[in-house]
């Protein structure tokens, strides 16, 4: 059967046709232009769906379901976007609105939740019913699948793992609380940590790396550390501890089969995964008595949003 996954971002709306075996037949994208009224944006989404179906030679009535992954707080049961900062949506009845254009079951969820579902169904967690997905990007996003069920919390306001405590009273987080995991383990956080170390160590290779790149990025400290820079190594070591510490909290709560790591930072790859794995093995509750949790890189990459959104429609 054919499903359409729509990945709604602040810049671009992507959509693709996926089947239940995880085959992606076609994908395309349109600009979001988020300053518009939601009815126009939703109309574009529907047209994008019709257009990819037509290009693929599939009649729109053959689409068994449409899923949408949307940043923000999503009330999946009501089919309403409670609040999405990135696309300026508040209390938008998107499922009803979309139904004006295409008649088929429509499912919505938070984008990190959708990505978690995509990875569990078609990616690094294939075959597992217990997966924690962590994106290390601008923020720290989490999607949690436990016993095959996507954890959403009341009105979709749960699964905000980026805002569990890491160091109570520590760095100020964008959510207004101090010491959240996100304030230490996001790409934004390692950039801040890198800048601070660069100031303290003007001799560090990080300065040259940043100059070469034209900015301080999530890669700066990693690149300098690989070249043997001591100050950069310290930044990276601490950052890995922060990432692992939050993952250990998640492991102690959910004890999944896999913790899958996505987002820009995950491009550091196996080397990073192994370092995190070692700390998870050592510090998770119960030690060797408890079943091992495997830390892996998420593999669906840029298409994770499409796969995940399509998976939302398949799960029912």
What residue ranges bind a second copy (CB under 8 A)? 73, 82-83, 130, 142, 144, 146-147, 149, 151-155, 157-161, 163-169, 175-177, 179, 181, 241-242, 245-246, 248-249, 252-257, 283, 285-287, 289-291, 293
Q: Which is nearer to a second copy, 181 or 222 (CB)?
A: 181
Of the candidates 66, 63, 25, 61, the residue with the CA atom closest to the CA atom of residue 45: 66
Structural contact between residues 75 and 92, judged by C-beta atoms closer than 8 angstroms: no
| Closest distance of CB 88 from a second copy, Å | 14
Q: Which is nearer to a second copy, 30 or 253 (CB)?
A: 253
Q: Tokens 């905000």 correspond to what residue?
A: 160
The Cα 252–Cα 75 span in angstroms is 27
| Closest distance of CB 234 from a second copy, Å | 15
| Closest distance of CB 222 from a second copy, Å | 21
| Closest distance of CB 199 from a second copy, Å | 23
Q: Which is nearer to a second copy, 74 or 261 (CB)?
A: 74
Structure tokens, 144: 């949690």
The Cα 150–Cα 153 span in angstroms is 9
Of the candidates 52, 59, 64, 50, the residue with the CA atom closest to the CA atom of residue 24: 52
Q: Which is nearer to a second copy, 82 or 267 (CB)?
A: 82
Q: Which is nearer to a second copy, 73 or 204 (CB)?
A: 73
| Closest distance of CB 273 from a second copy, Å | 19
Cα separation values, 21 from 118, 163, 237, Å: 11, 34, 39
| Closest distance of CB 230 from a second copy, Å | 21
Strand partners, 106: 66
Helix (H, G, I), strand (E, B) or coil at 311: helix
Listed in sequence order, the residues at least 6 apart from 227 whose beta carbon sits closer than 8 Å to its beta carbon are: 205
Q: Which is nearer to a second copy, 94 or 166 (CB)?
A: 166
Structural contact between residues 256 and 296, judged by C-beta atoms closer than 8 angstroms: no
């Amino acid at each position: 059967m054919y499903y359409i996954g729509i990945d709604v971002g602040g810049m671009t709306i992507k959509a693709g046709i996926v089947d239940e075996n995880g085959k992606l037949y076609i994908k395309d994208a349109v600009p979001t232009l988020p300053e518009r009224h939601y009815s126009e944006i939703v109309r574009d989404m529907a047209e994008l769906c019709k257009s990819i179906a037509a290009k693929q030679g599939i009649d729109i009535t053959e689409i068994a379901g449409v899923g949408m992954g949307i940043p923000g707080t999503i009330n999946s049961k009501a089919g309403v976007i409670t609040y999405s900062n990135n696309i300026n949506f508040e209390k938008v009845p998107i499922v009803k609105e979309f139904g004006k254009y295409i008649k088929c079951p429509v499912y919505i969820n938070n984008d990190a939740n959708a990505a978690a579902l995509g990875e569990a169904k078609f990616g690094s967690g294939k075959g597992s019913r217990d997966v924690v997905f962590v994106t290390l990007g601008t923020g720290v996003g989490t999607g949690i699948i436990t016993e095959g069920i996507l954890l959403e919390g009341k009105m979709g306001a749960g699964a905000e793992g980026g805002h569990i405590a890491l160091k109570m009273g520590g760095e100020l987080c964008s959510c207004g609380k101090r010491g959240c995991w996100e304030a230490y383990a996001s790409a934004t956080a390692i950039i801040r940590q890198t800048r601070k170390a660069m100031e303290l160590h003007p001799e560090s290779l990080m300065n040259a790396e940043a100059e070469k790149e034209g900015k301080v990025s999530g890669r700066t400290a990693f690149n300098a550390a690989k070249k043997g820079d001591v100050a950069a190594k310290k930044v990276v070591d601490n950052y890995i501890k922060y990432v692992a510490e939050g993952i250990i909290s998640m492991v102690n709560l959910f004890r999944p089969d896999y913790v899958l790591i996505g987002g820009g930072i995950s491009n550091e790859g196996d080397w990073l995964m192994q370092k995190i794995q070692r700390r998870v093995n050592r510090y998770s509750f119960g030690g060797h008595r408890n079943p091992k949790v495997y830390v892996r890189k998420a593999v669906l990459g840029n298409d994770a949003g499409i796969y995940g959104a399509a998976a939302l429609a398949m799960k029912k």
